Amino acid sequence: MIKEAYKIAILAGDGIGPEVMVEALRVLDTVAAKFDFVIEKTEKLVGGAAIDAVGEALPADTLAACEDSDAILFGSVGGEKWNSLPPEKRPEVGALLPLRKHFDLFANIRPAGVLPALKNSSPLKPEIIGEGFGFTILRELTGDVYFGEKNRGEDFASDLMIYRQAEVERIARIAFQLAKKSRNKVTNVDKANVLATSQFWRKIVEEIHAKEFPEVELNHLYIDNATMRVLTHPHDFDVILTGNLFGDILSDECAQISGSIGMQASASINSENFGLYEPMGGSAPDIAGKGIANPIAQILSVAMMLDIGFGELAAAKAIKLAILKTLEDGFRTGDIFTEGCKKVSTSEMGDAIISRIK
Ligand code: NAD
């Protein structure tokens, strides 16, 4: 029986976006052939490239292609050239935020960790890294203080921190579901010793846990403690569940642990499991056009899409194993290069990973 094709909107964007996307798509084609599924790709302009072509960062036909797809594979947007535009017209604000809003992408999933082969690139001490570790940060993306009522007076300013029951319930469910597919542990991070919002959040997380996921281990940490523990005891974590504000800070802190932003992918999904998959880094204008960007974050975005979005677990695993093997074999782009390794270009890194998938 022929499987239905997975339809993917490809939005490569600006800077290194198109360079690393080429490698990610080559990897995607390789696993599709190997694991016998069909991919239907629609490539569209987004960000600065779209502003240059049609005057807006998220053109209507790009949005329409996303609506007609099963997932969005996003590169990165932005650059000096568009910085003089009003903030709402710039590539990042004009493209990414409307996409998140339009598809209600409330759950931001960010894997963090150190691979054994990259121990020397991480700022953490070897004795803390041990044999390497990995955990996932799940950040609520559409609520909290960013979206509460804002007030600005002559001598005061305020931003309302607000979460509604349904918003906490749906993100908590995703945390427990992710933990069930991983090491069965959720650490909820909040500030329940001070904030009413956090006390409410924690109560709902505990209710969902007791009613629907009692088999998953649940513990709680205050955000101030969590920011320290991820650095001193990273092996303790499996899935970290947290709100928008705390997740913003914690996920960037954890992105540094891996050694390079060029290794970090993320997914933002909605309640229908429709997702946008992208590298965590930006368009890296300082290295764009040189063929030296690390394509691994974009390739890992493909693996996340296959895993979370399509349930093609074997294909996702094959990509991750090929990346591990490539790194173990000493291949490094400049951002993760250490003495004694083989420095490669963006496309050579793609070649090395593809040959190990085959
Ligand atoms: P950046 O992530 O683009 O770059 C920060 C540093 O990381 C640079 O030194 C860059 O060379 C390096 N880097 C990033 N990705 C890399 C990769 N794959 N391989 C090797 N090195 C890599 O952040 P920035 O410089 O603050 O921002 C540049 C532009 O990107 C800005 O316009 C910013 O607004 C935009 N941006 C976009 C997104 C997005 O599209 N999601 C996210 C962040 C920043």
The percentage of residues in the chain with a pLDDT greater than 90, rounded to a whole number, is: 93
Q: Is 248 noted as a catalytic residue in this protein? A: yes
CB 110 within 8 A of CB 264: yes
Q: How far apart are CA 34 and CA 74, in angstroms?
A: 23
Tokens of 274: 């429709």
Residues 301, 318: contact at Cβ < 8 Å?
Answer: no
Going by the DSSP 8-state scheme, the letter that residue 5 receives in this structure is P
Neighbour count for residue 289 (Cβ, 10 Å): 11
pLDDT higher than 60, residue 1: no
* Domains 1-122+259-358 and 126-257 agree in fold: yes
pLDDT at 24: 98
Q: How does pLDDT run across 255-272, given as a tens digit for each residue? A: 899 888 999 999 999 999
Domain ranges of the chain: 1-122+259-358, 126-257
Is the pLDDT at 276 greater than 60? The verdict is yes
Q: What dihedral angle (degrees, nearest 10) is formed by the CA atoms of 258, 260, 263, 265?
A: 80
Q: What mean pLDDT comes out for the span 169-178?
A: 98
Encode 242-265: b = buried (16+ Cβ within 10 Å), e = exposed.
bbbbbbbebbeebbebbbbbbbbb
Which pLDDT band, with edges at 50, 70 and 90, does 62 fall under? very high
Q: What is the mean pLDDT of residues 89-117?
A: 94
From the CB of 259, is ligand 1 less than 6 Å away?
no
Catalytic residue among 104, 119, 146, 236: 146
How would you class 311 by CB atoms within 10 Å of its CB: exposed for 0-12, middle for 13-18, buried for 19 or more? exposed
- Which fold, 126-257? Isopropylmalate Dehydrogenase (3.40.718)
What is residue 259's predicted lDDT score, i.e. its pLDDT? Answer: 84
Q: What sign does the dihedral 331-316-69-77 (CA atoms) show?
A: negative
Catalytic site residue 191? yes
Pairing state of beta strands 265-269 and 107-114? antiparallel
CATH number for the domain formed by residue range(s) 1-122+259-358: 3.40.718.10
How many other CB atoms sit within 10 Å of the CB of residue 339? 5
Question: Which atom of ligand 1 is least distant from the CA of 281?
Answer: 2
In angstroms, the CA 321 to CA 305 distance is 16
Between CA 230 and CA 326 the distance in angstroms is: 27
Residue 317 structure tokens: 């695993």
- Residue to mutate, 83, 92, 99, ligand 1, most ligand atoms under 8 Å from C-beta: 92
Q: Confirm whether 146 is a catalytic residue.
A: yes
Per-residue model confidence as pLDDT tens digits over 68-87:
999 999 999 999 999 999 98
Is residue 222 flagged as an active site residue? Answer: no
Answer yes or no: is the C-beta of 16 below 6 A from any ligand 1 atom.
Answer: yes
Residue 2 has pLDDT above 60, yes or no: no
Separation CA 187–CA 238 (nearest Å): 8
Q: What pTM was estimated for this model as a whole?
A: 0.95
Expressed in angstroms and rounded, the spacing between residue 260 Cα and the centre of ligand 1 is: 11
Catalytic residue among 224, 290, 342, 358: 224
What pLDDT shows up at residue 83?
94
Q: pLDDT tens digits, residue range 296-326?
A: 999 999 999 999 999 999 999 999 999 999 9
Catalytic one among 104, 159, 236, 248?
A: 248
